[in-house]
Amino acid sequence: MADFHGVFPYLVSPLDASGEVRTNVLGRLCDDLIKAGVHGLTPLGSTGEFAYLDQAQRASVVRATIEAAKGRVPVIAGVASTSTADAVAQARAHQKLGADGILAIMEAYFPVADPQVESYFRAIADAVDIPVVIYTNPQFQRSDLTLDVIERLATHPRIGYIKDASTNTGRLLSIMNRSGDSIKVFSASAHIPAAVMLIGGLGWMAGPACIIPRQSVELYNLCKAARWDEAMALQRRLWRINEAFARFNLAACIKAGLEIQGYPVGDPVPPQAALTADQRRVVEAALRDLA
């Protein structure tokens, strides 16, 4: 299985007023993130607004990311649906485009019991020949991945990673203890990345890494070198971005930060709203402090 580790920015999906993906903007962002030292790219994560895009837009985002990466770093493309058949079709399409891995997300309208949650993720992993990262975010999803389901999914030969966006770091330790080396943990921005690295995490997939890539990579390197005092000093500074991120709309916050930095990524996809002027100033101030 591929060795995924380090900082994977959750990419935004830049759209113009007509809904076309601004592939040139996305390509420039990807290139700059790679030059800043990130270890991989994740299109169609939460910050990528996957729930608000149609299939053509999703495919365009993934294709543009893969073309921009040029094999320099792995691309783990998001797959999300309320339908197992549609999720399988997306995963196969992303693999055909050249994705190095799949980030599997489960959407649900009606609550779904554990056996059906498990079968959804297994169907995705069965459908592709590339590694699968399972994703859980109980803040946004009606059907969570329980510890029992995660432990069983960890036995699948292509499910080797989980990105957990709960706010419960103890849950991450429980996943590690129960699954051992069978599944490796990526942190989310809802967790403190340095703390997750300390207990055995292998990196993080998060929207803020789009706007602070260099500092994120520096934090990762300090953690890998076990220079914990320096890592925590930097983590305290970076946490201000996460605090702003938690207060405002997910994509709106990161898109505003990128606009401030000169990337014309546009507004969040309706019915979401852009940040207000006051909210934008909070993001500006956080970025200015980290410059």
Annotated binding-site residues for pyruvate read 47, 205
Q: How many angstroms separate the first and last alpha carbons of the chain? A: 37
Catalytic choice (10, 120, 135, 161): 135
Catalytic choice (10, 120, 161, 163): 163
Strand, coil or helix: what is 36?
Answer: coil
Q: Is 163 a catalytic residue?
A: yes
Residue for token digits 């608000």?
52
The answer to whether 102 and 79 have CB atoms below 8 angstroms apart is yes
Q: Which structure tokens are listed for 226?
A: 């076990």
Residue for token digits 């992303």?
94
CA nearest 123: which of 175, 162, 75, 158? Answer: 158
Q: How far is CA 267 from CA 49, 55, 233, in A?
A: 11, 19, 33
Q: Is 120 a catalytic residue?
A: no
Distance CA 143, CA 100 (A): 26
Distance CA 13, CA 59 (A): 11
Strand, coil or helix: what is 7?
Answer: strand
Residues that constitute the known binding site: 47, 205
Helices (H) and strands (E) in the chain — how many of each? 11, 7
Would you name the residues annotated as active-site residues?
Answer: 135, 163
